[in-house]
Amino acid sequence: MCGIAGYMHADPARPVDPETLVAMAAIQYHRGPDGFGWKAIDDRGVGFSHARLSIIDLDNDRARQPFLSADQRLLLAHNGEFYDYQRIRADLTSRGERFATKSDSELVLHLYPRLGLEKAMRELRGEFAFALFDREEDRLMLVRDRFGIKPLYWTEINGTLVFGSELKVLFAHPDVPRRFSAEGLYHQMMQTIVPGTTAFEGIHQVPPGHIVTIERAHGRFRIRTDRYWDMDFPVLGERDESQSEEHYIELVREQLLEAVRLRLEADVPVGCYLSGGIDSCSILGLASASRQDPVKAFTIGFDDAAYDETAVAREMAESVGAEQDIMMLDAGHLYDNFVETLWHTERTIYNTLGVAKLLMSRHVRDVGYKVVVTGEGSDELFAGYPAFRRDMFLHGLDHLSPAERAGWEQLLAESNKLFKGAMLAEDELHDPFLDTVCGFTPSSLQPWLRAGERVPDLLAPAMREQVEGYRPGQAIADALDADMVRDRHPLDVAQYVWIKTMLEGQILTWGGDRVDMANSMEARPAFLDHHLAEAATLLPPSMRIKGRTEKYVLREAMRGVLPTVLYEREKFAFMAPPAHTDPKKYAALKGLANEFLDDASLRDAGLLDPAGIKALFELHEDEATSAATQVQLDAVINHAIGVQVLHRHFVATDVPAQARARARELGWRP
Q: What is the mean pLDDT of residues 33-44?
A: 94
- Position 255, amino acid: Q
Rounded to an integer, what distance in angstroms lies between the CA atom of residue 162 and that of residue 171?
9
Cβ atoms < 10 Å from Cβ of 626: 11
Count of Cβ atoms closer than 10 Å to residue 154 Cβ = 22
Nearest to 239 by CA among 248, 230, 250: 248
For the cut 60, the answer to whether the pLDDT of residue 419 exceeds it is no
**Preceding omega of 174 cis (within 30 degrees of 0):** no
pLDDT of residue 301: 85
pLDDT at 64: 85
Highest mean pLDDT among 315-319, 363-367, 586-590: 363-367
Q: Per DSSP, what are the bridge partners of residue 7?
A: 47, 162
Tens-digit pLDDT profile for residues 510-542: 999 999 999 999 999 999 999 999 999 999 999
Whether omega for the bond prior to residue 234 falls within 30 degrees of 0, making it cis, is: no
Whole-angstrom CA distances from 186 to 194, 250, 530, 586 are 10, 45, 33, 24
Q: Tell me the HSE value of 441 on the side-chain side, using a 13 A CA sphere.
A: 19
pLDDT at site 242: 87
- Whether 421 has a pLDDT exceeding 90, the answer reads no
Residue 159, pLDDT > 80, answer: yes
In this structure, of 15-19, 380-384, 470-474, 619-623, the range with the lowest mean pLDDT score is: 619-623
Mean pLDDT of the residues in the chain: 92
> Mean pLDDT across the stretch 426-454?
93
Which domain CATH number covers 339?
3.40.50.620
Q: Determine the Cα–Cα distance for residues 324 and 322; give it in Å rounded to an integer.
A: 6
Tell me how far apart the alpha carbons of residues 124 and 424 are, in angstroms, rounded to a whole number: 37
Whether the predicted pLDDT of 577 surpasses 70: no
Maximum distance among all alpha carbons in the chain?
Answer: 74
Q: Is the pLDDT of residue 234 over 70?
A: yes
- The upper half-sphere exposure of residue 621, i.e. CA atoms within 13 Å in the direction of its Cβ, equals 11
Report whether pLDDT(575) > 60: no
pLDDT in tens, 131-152: 999 999 999 999 999 999 999 9
Q: HSE of 387 in the Cβ direction (CA atoms, 13 Å)?
A: 32
Which one is predicted more confidently, 250 or 101?
Answer: 250
- Per the model's pLDDT, the better-predicted residue between 62 and 137 turns out to be 137
Please tell me the total count of domains within the chain.
2
Residues 235, 225 share a domain: no
Q: Which of the four pLDDT bands, split at 50, 70 and 90, describes residue 241?
A: confident
pLDDT at 414: 63
Q: What pLDDT does residue 528 have? A: 98
Condensed to tens digits (0 to 9), the pLDDT of residues 537-574 reads 999 999 999 987 889 999 999 999 998 877 776 655 55
CATH of the domain at 57: 3.60.20.10
Q: What pLDDT is stored for residue 455 in this prediction?
A: 96
Residues 385 and 236 in one domain: yes
Q: What is the pLDDT of residue 570?
A: 62
| Domain shared by 299 and 162, yes or no | no
Does residue 418 surpass a pLDDT of 60?
no
Q: Give the mean model confidence (pLDDT) for residues 11-30.
A: 97
At 396 the three-state DSSP class reads helix
Task: Using a pLDDT cut of 70, give the percent of the chain over it.
Answer: 93
pLDDT at 55: 75
In the chain, what percentage of residues exceed pLDDT 90? 77
Higher pLDDT among residues 49 and 312, named by residue? 49
Whether residue 493 is found in the same domain as residue 592: yes
The pLDDT value given to residue 415: 58
Res 579: pLDDT: 67
pLDDT-derived band at 412, boundaries 50, 70, 90: low
243: how many CB neighbours lie within 10 A of its CB?
Answer: 14
Domain membership of residue 94 as a residue range: 2-229
Give the model's confidence band at 276: pLDDT under 50 very low, under 70 low, under 90 confident, else very high: confident
Higher pLDDT, 211 or 424: 211
Query: How many angstroms separate the CA atoms of 604 and 607, rounded?
Result: 9
Angle at which helix 107-115 crosses helix 85-94, to 10 degrees, equals 60
> Of 603, 660, 659, 654, which Cα lies nearest the Cα of 177?
654
Instruction: Write down the pLDDT at residue 631.
Output: 83
In this prediction, residue 424 carries a pLDDT of 77
**344, pLDDT greater than 70:** yes
Average pLDDT estimate for 303-320: 83
Question: In terms of pLDDT, which residue wins out, 42 or 27?
Answer: 27
Does residue 310 sit in the same domain as residue 184? Answer: no
Nearest Cα to Cα of residue 169 among 348, 358, 36? 36
- Pairing state of beta strands 371-374 and 522-525? parallel
- Residue 427: pLDDT above 70? yes
Confidence of residue 585 (pLDDT cuts 50, 70, 90): confident
Residue that is last in its domain, among 229, 263, 295: 229
Q: Which pLDDT does position 416 carry in this prediction? A: 55
Which of 167, 197, 229 is the C-terminal boundary of a domain? 229
Q: Could you tell me if 335 and 216 lie in one domain?
A: no
> Predicted confidence band at 311 (pLDDT cuts at 50, 70, 90)?
confident
Q: d(Cα 86, Cα 88) in Å, to the nearest integer? A: 6
Contact 619, 633 (CB under 8 A): yes
Mean pLDDT on 71-95: 95
Alpha carbons within 13 angstroms on the beta-carbon side of residue 663 total 26
**CA-CA distance, 329 to 613, in Å (whole number)?**
29
- Same domain flag for 384 and 250: yes
**Contact between residue 7 and residue 163 where contact means Cβ atoms under 8 Å apart:** yes
Q: Looking at the structure, do residues 134 and 118 belong to the same domain, yes or no? A: yes
What number is the average pLDDT over the span 87-96? Answer: 94
The Cα–Cα gap between 414 and 323 comes to: 35
Radius of gyration of the chain (CA): 24
Q: Structure pTM? A: 0.94
- Residue 266 has a pLDDT of 86
Average pLDDT over residues 355-362: 94
Residues 52 and 140 in one domain: yes
Quickly state the pLDDT bin for 407 (edges 50, 70, 90).
Answer: low
176 confidence band (pLDDT: 50, 70, 90): very high
Q: Does residue 504 share a domain with residue 642?
A: yes
List beta partners, residue 211.
143, 226
Read off the pLDDT band of 329 (50, 70, 90). confident
217 and 177 share a domain?
yes
Same domain, 218 and 254: no
Average pLDDT over residues 623-649: 91
State the pLDDT confidence band at 112, using cuts at 50, 70 and 90. very high
Let me know: does 470 contact 183? Beta carbons within 8 Å. yes
- 229, 264, 281 - which closes a domain: 229
Per-residue pLDDT, 612: 96
